[in-house]
Amino acid sequence: MRKRNAFRPKTEEEVVFLETLKSEHLRLPAGADIIHPEQNGAELYTVFSGWAFRYKELPDGRRQILSIALPGDLLGLQASLFEKALYGAIALTDVELCLIPRRKLWSIFERMPAFAYDLTWLAAQSEAILDENLLTVGRRSAAERIASLFAGLFKRAEALGLVHDRTLVFPLTQQHVADALGLSLVHTNKTMARLKSLGLFALADGKLTIDNPRAMARFAQHFEKELSPRPIL
Amino acid sequence: MRKRNAFRPKTEEEVVFLETLKSEHLRLPAGADIIHPEQNGAELYTVFSGWAFRYKELPDGRRQILSIALPGDLLGLQASLFEKALYGAIALTDVELCLIPRRKLWSIFERMPAFAYDLTWLAAQSEAILDENLLTVGRRSAAERIASLFAGLFKRAEALGLVHDRTLVFPLTQQHVADALGLSLVHTNKTMARLKSLGLFALADGKLTIDNPRAMARFAQHFEKELSPRPIL
DNA sequence: CGCAGGCTTGATGCTAATCAATCGACGTGG
DNA sequence: CCACGTCGATTGATTAGCATCAAGCCTGCG
State how far the Cα of A118 lies from the Cα of A114, in Å rounded to an integer.
Answer: 6
Give the residue with greater pLDDT, A8 vs A33: A33
State how far the Cα of B29 lies from the Cα of B39, in Å rounded to an integer.
Answer: 20
- Angle at CA of residue B53, ends B52 and B54, nearest 5°: 140
pLDDT value of position B3: 45
A14 and B CB contact within 8 Å: no
Closest Cβ–Cβ partner in B62, B120, B135 for A120: B120
pLDDT value of position A9: 53
> Among B55-69, B97-111, B137-151, B189-203, where is mean pLDDT lowest?
B97-111
pLDDT value of position A19: 76
Across chain A, what does the average pLDDT equal? 91
A58 and B CB contact within 8 Å: yes
Give the residue with greater pLDDT, B163 vs B16: B163
> Among A133-147, B17-31, B52-66, B83-97, where is mean pLDDT lowest?
B17-31
Q: In terms of Cα–Cα distance, which of A95, A86, A126, A96 is closest to A231?
A: A126
The domain made up of B140-220 is a member of CATH 3.40.50.150:
no
B182/C10 CA-to-C1' distance in Å: 23
How, if at all, do strands A63-69 and A33-35 pair?
A: unpaired
Q: In terms of Cα–Cα distance, which of A175, A174, A179, A180 is closest to A152?
A: A180
CB contact under 8 A, B86 and A221: no
Position B2 pLDDT exceeds 50: no
Percent of chain B with pLDDT over 70: 92
pLDDT tens string A77-117: 999 998 889 999 999 999 999 999 888 899 999 999 999 99
CB contact under 8 A, B182 and A84: no
B14 and A CB contact within 8 Å: no
CB B94 within 8 A of CB A29: no
Comparing alpha-carbon positions, the chain B residue that sits nearest to A59 is B221
> Which DSSP category does B11 fall into?
S
CB contact under 8 A, A124 and B82: yes
CB B17 within 8 A of CB B118: no
Closest Cβ–Cβ partner in A4, A123, A138 for B120: A123
The answer to whether B142 CB is within 7 Å of strand D is yes
Largest CA distance in chain B: 56
Residues 152-181, chain A, touching B (beta carbon < 8 A): 181
Q: How confident is the model at residue A224 (pLDDT cuts 50, 70, 90)?
A: confident
Burial environment of residue A168 by CB neighbours within 10 A (0 to 12, 13 to 18, 19 or more): buried
pLDDT value of position B4: 47
B143 and A CB contact within 8 Å: no
Position B44 pLDDT exceeds 70: yes
Q: How confident is the model at residue B213 (pLDDT cuts 50, 70, 90)?
A: very high
What are the φ and ψ backbone dihedral angles of A40, each rounded to 5 degrees? Answer: -95, 140
> Among A12-21, A52-61, B6-15, B98-107, where is mean pLDDT lowest?
B6-15
pLDDT value of position A8: 54
pLDDT value of position A83: 83
Would you give the distance in Å from CA B34 to the centre of its chain?
13
pLDDT tens string A3-19: 444 455 566 777 787 77
CB A98 within 8 A of CB A232: no
Q: How confident is the model at residue B153 (pLDDT cuts 50, 70, 90)?
A: very high
Question: Distance of CA A14 to CAs A1, A208, B190, Å?
Answer: 18, 38, 58
Cβ-based neighbours of A132, under 8 Å, separated by 6 or more? A148, A152, A224, B56, B86
Residues 109-128, chain B, touching A (beta carbon < 8 A): 109-110, 113-114, 116-117, 119-121, 123-128
DSSP conformation letters of A171-211: ---HHHHHHHHT--HHHHHHHHHHHHHTTS-EEETTEEE-S
Closest Cβ–Cβ partner in A78, A121, A223 for B127: A78
Burial environment of residue B12 by CB neighbours within 10 A (0 to 12, 13 to 18, 19 or more): exposed
CB A178 within 8 A of CB A185: yes
Percent of chain B with pLDDT over 90: 76
CB B230 within 8 A of CB B72: yes
Q: How confident is the model at residue A226 (pLDDT cuts 50, 70, 90)?
A: low
pLDDT tens string A128-143: 999 999 999 999 999 9
Length of chain B measured in residues: 233
Residues of A in contact with B54 (CB under 8 A): 131
List strand C contacts in B 154-183 (CB < 7 A).
173-175
pLDDT value of position A41: 84
Q: How is chain A split into domains, by residue range? A: 2-131, 140-220
User: Do B2-131 and B140-220 show the same overall fold?
Assistant: no
Which is the CATH superfamily of the domain at A2-131?
Jelly Rolls (2.60.120.10)
Residues 193-232, chain B, touching A (beta carbon < 8 A): 221, 223-225, 228
Give the residue with greater pLDDT, A224 vs A149: A149
State how far the Cα of B195 lies from the Cα of A59, in Å rounded to an integer.
Answer: 21
Is the sign of the CA dihedral B151, B153, B155, B161 positive or negative?
negative
Comparing alpha-carbon positions, the chain A residue that sits nearest to B223 is A58
Enumerate the H helices of B82-184 as residue ranges.
105-111, 113-139, 142-159, 174-181
pLDDT value of position B6: 47
